[in-house]
Amino acid sequence: MVSALGMTAVLGGCGSTGSSDVTLRLVAADYGDSAANSSKKYWDNLVKAYESQHSGVKVEVSVYSWNDVDRKVKEMVDAGDAPDLAQIGAYADYAAAGKLYQASDLLSIRTQADFLSQLADAGEWKHVQYGIPFAASTRVLFYNKTLFAKAGITPPTTWSELAADAKALKGEGVKYPYALPLGPEEAQAETMQWLLSGGKGYTDDIGTYTIDSAENVQTFTWLKDELVGKGLTGPVAPGKLNRADAFAAFADGQVGMLNGHPTLIQQAAKKGVRFGMVPMPGRTGEARAAMGVADWMMGFKQHGHADQIGDFLDFVYDQKNVLAFSRAYGLLPVTGSASNTMTESDSAPDQALHPFLDQLPTSELYPVGKTSWAAVSAAVKKQIGQAVTPAGSPAGVLTGLQATATEADSDDVN
């Protein structure tokens, strides 16, 4: 992978913003898994390059783990001292509270136009963009090539083929024929991918929650009856299986198939697992859409500095910098220029991301533009596993989640 240390680009023609002695404070999330590849190194080098061309502007960056970063920003805002910039997991609450700059108040037209449209659209609250996409990923179906060869099967393209493959893998003694992580860590992701696979999702085309739609009930009924009920999801109840544990089991060669994002590539490769990746199957063919995920950059209005914030962000989103960050952390570029470059690249790290890039243009993201989403996501994490237990009722659980969503959404009409 390309080192973050060598990634900063010098933008020709950049100079001072015309203001002096301005210090911007940025709070950012850490995408690294060790001190050696911490995001702090990425930001240190990018800031050094930026400041060398902007003598009147300093940028102070504080990097926190994903366990802490959203809370840190909230504490700063609640204390009346918001950062100038935050790169975190959600923006809608701050937008609704009137604390953020609109993206158009900060970014050049060229930068705005370069964002992938579905990511820019997902950054809108009440049809105005406040959330600026920073990193993206999608999900594909990973499968263990060694286990598949042993069972004499090929990657599935429909649900019935997936169930048949899982049955064959179970017959060969595979511990988790299909790993179904509906545990509290990230159940909202696995749930969304299956809802999309069944033809629907959390919301309809105009953003209204439709969690208990007939199609969604049919999807979880199928999961309960055809996978979980037939013992094809492994020894741990899906409601108790977390995503990290499922990924670790895949890397240990104990899983036949599971939904995965780009970080699983390196995790499995380090353990010598031979794996392939295909689009998630749908009920009778390819899923309606893959699930996409984006993390967000935002600018707070409290201390002003809109011109300096915007100028710095134009530098952050330069193609070379976007590519370098994406390559360093195995994530997908959020801009069209960087995405096209990666798609056309024949380097091994870039090619490894091509299956995810292929899914991105038609991917569907969480309804992050709704301030109600946090409450809905928390409810899904807590309750969805019950839908596939032996005594569970898919319709009952989804109806309960719909009631939670409707209540949470009552003050957040788009």
Q: Is the pLDDT of residue 11 over 90?
A: no
pLDDT digits (tens, 9 = 90+) for 147-200: 999 999 999 999 999 999 999 999 999 999 999 999 998 899 999 999 999 999
Q: What is the average pLDDT across 276-281?
A: 95
Between 412 and 387, the more confident residue is 387
Distance CA 6, CA 403 (A): 50
pLDDT digits (tens, 9 = 90+) for 71-119: 999 999 999 999 999 999 889 999 999 999 999 999 999 999 999 999 9
Q: What is the average pLDDT across 218-245?
A: 97
Strand partners, 59: 24
- The per-residue pLDDT for 32 is 85
Cα dist from 24 to 56, 59, 113, 302, whole Å:
11, 5, 25, 12
Q: Is the pLDDT of residue 40 over 60?
A: yes
Quote the pTM value: 0.85
**Binning pLDDT at 50, 70 and 90, where does residue 21 land?**
confident
Residue 131: both structure tokens together: 């959330």
Strand partners, 176: 255
Distance CA 53, CA 44 (A): 15
What fold characterizes domain 17-137+292-365? D-Maltodextrin-Binding Protein; domain 2 (3.40.190)
Q: Encode the chain in three state secondary structure.
A: CCCHHHCCCCCCCCCCCCCCCEEEEEEEECCCCCHHHCHHHHHHHHHHHHHHHCCCEEEEEEEECCCCHHHHHHHHHHCCCCCCEEEECCCHHHHHCCCECCHHHHCCHHHHHHECHHHHHHCEECCEECCEEEEEEECEEEEEHHHHHHHCCCCCCEHHHHHHHHHHHHHCCCCEEECCCCCCCCHHHHHHHHHHHCCCCCECCCCCECCCCHHHHHHHHHHHHHHHCCCCCCCCCHHHCCHHHHHHHHHCCCEEEEEECCHHHHHHHHCCCCEEEECCEECCCECCCCEEEEEEEEEECCCCCHHHHHHHHHHHCCHHHHHHHHHHHCCECCEHHHHHHHHHCCCHHHHHHHHHHHHHHHCEECCCCCCCHHHHHHHHHHHHHHHHCCCCCHHHHHHHHHHHHHHHCCCCCC
Phi, psi for 107 (deg, rounded to 5):
-95, 150
Residue 6: both structure tokens together: 């060598």
Domain boundaries, the chain: 17-137+292-365, 140-289+370-408
Work out the number of other CB atoms within 10 angstroms of the CB of residue 173. 10
Q: What is the average pLDDT across 236-253?
A: 95
Q: What is the average pLDDT across 257-273?
A: 93
Q: What is the average pLDDT across 52-56?
A: 90
What fold characterizes domain 140-289+370-408? D-Maltodextrin-Binding Protein; domain 2 (3.40.190)
